[in-house]
Structure 1
Amino acid sequence: MRAVQVTEFGGPEVLRNVELPDPVPGEGQVLVEVDHAGVNYADTHQAENTYLAPSRLPLVPGGEVIGRTSEGARVVALVNSGGYAERAVADRRTLIPVPDGVDDLSALSFIVQGSTAWLLLRKNAHLESGESVVVHAAAGGVGSIAVQLAKAWGAGSVIATASSEEKRALALELGADVAVDSRAEDMTATLREANGGKRVDIVLDMTGGRVTDQSIAALAPFGRLAFYGMASRQQPKPVQLGAVLSHSTTISGMWLPHALTLPGNVFGKAMAELFELSLGGKIRAVPGGEYGLSEARKAHEALRSRATMGKLILDPRR
């Protein structure tokens, strides 16, 4: 089968197009004939071995696919790796049947990025009606869905950050009340100004570095920052517990695989609600570009440049 393989860690240049034997499903696994594979920022970390879970060589990147099982069922699935290929094996527990009316782009947008946005707002931030929500990287895969979910769930004000006029315009189109430049020198002052001079209740952050530091400083008492990535590849300053106490601040992290360990099938509930909202016209996936499998390197280059918007997908047939 055609696949993309990494045999040495590094940037986009280490992604190579190869022919590999079909994967063989083990106990509890299912073989999926891949129609499209999703591209996530985590894949770039996986390729350079800077992800939360260590990578092992040789590696076929990719954590999500949509396709059909041998029985013909159309499913979207999480895979530990192996998504950038014509066929992939998935744990049966992560298979989600895709309803009629939900296209490949939407299903792939929801299984990692949409469920991440759902979990950040529901489990980490515990959004309450009327609260202000800051969504950093609001034109990206997670951010574009988080903006829509926050509005659908009654946020009082959604403040989007993005690096270009085009991205900020998209965030406003998706429902953000205010969109500000993510490159602002003083993010604390920028966020407070965008919120009518008041501190903000919730920040969803995948940037790291000074943006995280200044976002924490913008939080109101009992404000919550949910941290789910570090696109800048820069560590924030260490958090001082005394400062957390004196400002009644909550700082939490979220890594999607942990959602699969929660009782009550929380992941399945998230996907069911995302599908329902999509079919009802309340949220939509934003296309970020479709690449052939042979163009995986270009997809990673585009993602790492932070010039993309929405969801990037790969077509294994080309």
Structure 2
Amino acid sequence: MQAWRVHRHGEPHEVMRLEETEPPTPGPDGLLVRVRAANVNFPDALLCRGQYQVRPPLPFTPGVELCGETEDGRRIVATAALPYGGFAEYAVADAATVLPAPEALDDAGAAALTVGYQTAWFALHRRAALRPGETLLVHAAAGGVGSAAVQLGKAAGARVIGVVGGPGKARVAHDLGCDLVVDRRSDDVVEAVRDATAGRGADVVYDPVGGASYAWSAKCVAFEGRIVVVGFASGDVPAPALNHALVKNYAVLGLHWGLYRRHDPDAVRACHTELTRLAADGVVAPLIGDRVALADAARAVQRVADGTTTGRLVVLPGTGTGTGTGTSTGTGARTATGGDTR
């Protein structure tokens, strides 16, 4: 079979190599799956760089999230059991994470439903306790993680303000359902949020970016507001001023979705059931920025690492050589094109 493998750490386009290798042999907690689609996540780039909290032994195959087919013919979604990730014709799924693929979504949409949407759901509902009528501020609203938060925020009855970078991103965020879109390149984010909320600020902030985005959030979060820290796509990990949180009376919450799989797997399964229902109702549809062939996976991971994508990039091993530039759509999945995810 063909598989992308990393033999040394570095930039994805430099260290990922497409090789012929034998299909992996699952361990007692793994399940061999034929990969139908594998979503590209920022952690895949961090894995290549050796900067992720999990460091699989070299060589390894990246691709932490996939839609696949089991040997008995079931169509499933799962997270991969590294070192046998999803950027290959066959992967090993962590058996404990295997869930039925939503029938309402094609393979690309199903592959993109798990990590981003589960992260957004747990952040908004378990950590921030988002309530109908509240104002939700979403950074990187046209990106893969941010777009999930926009859709789930609207489904929860919130007013959603999306922060994006550039007019192309702004159009995507409007199409996703944002009530207000703020272009961080041309607008004053803090003033725009204050003006839109009559000075109150955002009740909940969803921040997968860090850096300047977190600084803006602390300035425009409401009384008893909640800032949920999801990641640091900017590469800048902020150091919150806790005295500021005290005097403004807001909370800073962390969200590491992977811990729920270990500590509360029933909650993960219940969330998947809810997401499947929302997909069937047409309320959520993963934003697919591009679908690429297996041969283009290294370029796709590098694009995510460089922050030049909109929505999710999805690798489809069964689509031939590919060019990495197509943007076809499928049932239940949105498609978008445009600039950076930050």
Match of 1:107 in 2: 110
Match of 1:316 in 2: 317
What secondary structure, in the 3-state scheme, does the structure 1 residue paired with 2:67 have?
Answer: strand
> 1:145 and 2:137 equivalent?
no
Match of 2:160 in 1: 158
Match of 1:180 in 2: 182
CA distance in 2, matches of 1:99, 1:308: 25
CA distance in 1, matches of 2:196, 2:9: 41
TM-score by length of 2: 0.88
What secondary structure, in the 3-state scheme, does the structure 2 residue paired with 1:89 have?
Answer: strand
The one-letter amino acid paired with 1:158 is V
> 1:239 and 2:235 equivalent?
no
Match of 1:6 in 2: 6
What are the within-5 Å matches in structure 2 for residues 76-225 of structure 1? 76-81=77-82, 82-155=85-158, 157-183=159-185, 186-225=188-227
> 1:261 and 2:227 equivalent?
no
Moved more, 303-312 or 29-38: 303-312
What secondary structure, in the 3-state scheme, does the structure 2 residue paired with 1:300 have?
Answer: helix
CA distance in 2, matches of 1:240, 1:165: 32
CA distance in 2, matches of 1:58, 1:196: 54
- Once the two structures are TM-superposed, the CA of residue 185 in structure 1 deviates from its matched residue by 7.3
Match of 2:72 in 1: 71
CA distance in 1, matches of 2:222, 2:133: 14
Residues 83 and 264 of structure 1, relative CA distance in 2, 3 Å threshold: closer
CA distance in 2, matches of 1:170, 1:222: 30
TM-score by length of 1: 0.94
**1:3 and 1:20 in contact (8 A); partners too:** yes
Number of residue-to-residue matches in the alignment: 316
The one-letter amino acid paired with 2:264 is P
The one-letter amino acid paired with 2:136 is V
Residues 88 and 139 of structure 1, relative CA distance in 2, 3 Å threshold: same
CA distance in 2, matches of 1:99, 1:232: 32
**1:33 and 1:86 in contact (8 A); partners too:** yes
Match of 2:253 in 1: 252
- Once the two structures are TM-superposed, the CA of residue 55 in structure 1 deviates from its matched residue by 4.2
- Once the two structures are TM-superposed, the CA of residue 184 in structure 1 deviates from its matched residue by 5.2
What stretches of structure 2 of length at least 5 have no aligned partner? Answer: 321-342
- Once the two structures are TM-superposed, the CA of residue 289 in structure 1 deviates from its matched residue by 0.5
**2:144 and 2:311 in contact (8 A); partners too:** yes
**2:88 and 2:317 in contact (8 A); partners too:** yes
What are the within-5 Å matches in structure 2 for residues 38-57 of structure 1? 38-57=39-58
CA distance in 2, matches of 1:209, 1:99: 35
What secondary structure, in the 3-state scheme, does the structure 2 residue paired with 1:110 have?
Answer: coil
- Once the two structures are TM-superposed, the CA of residue 152 in structure 1 deviates from its matched residue by 1.1
The one-letter amino acid paired with 1:4 is W
**1:184 and 1:190 in contact (8 A); partners too:** no
What are the within-5 Å matches in structure 2 for residues 14-25 of structure 1? 14-25=15-26
The one-letter amino acid paired with 1:21 is E
What's the % identity of the aligned pairs? 36
Match of 2:326 in 1: none
What is the aligned counterpart of 2:232 among 227, 230, 239?
230
Residues 245 and 170 of structure 1, relative CA distance in 2, 3 Å threshold: same
Match of 2:328 in 1: none
What stretches of structure 1 of length at least 5 have no aligned partner? Answer: none
CA distance in 1, matches of 2:2, 2:119: 29
- Once the two structures are TM-superposed, the CA of residue 169 in structure 1 deviates from its matched residue by 1.3
CA distance in 2, matches of 1:50, 1:184: 32
What secondary structure, in the 3-state scheme, does the structure 2 residue paired with 1:191 have?
Answer: helix
Residues 186 and 54 of structure 1, relative CA distance in 2, 3 Å threshold: farther
CA distance in 1, matches of 2:65, 2:102: 17
CA distance in 2, matches of 1:185, 1:139: 16
- Once the two structures are TM-superposed, the CA of residue 83 in structure 1 deviates from its matched residue by 1.3
CA distance in 2, matches of 1:130, 1:167: 25
- Once the two structures are TM-superposed, the CA of residue 294 in structure 1 deviates from its matched residue by 1.3
CA distance in 2, matches of 1:287, 1:264: 27
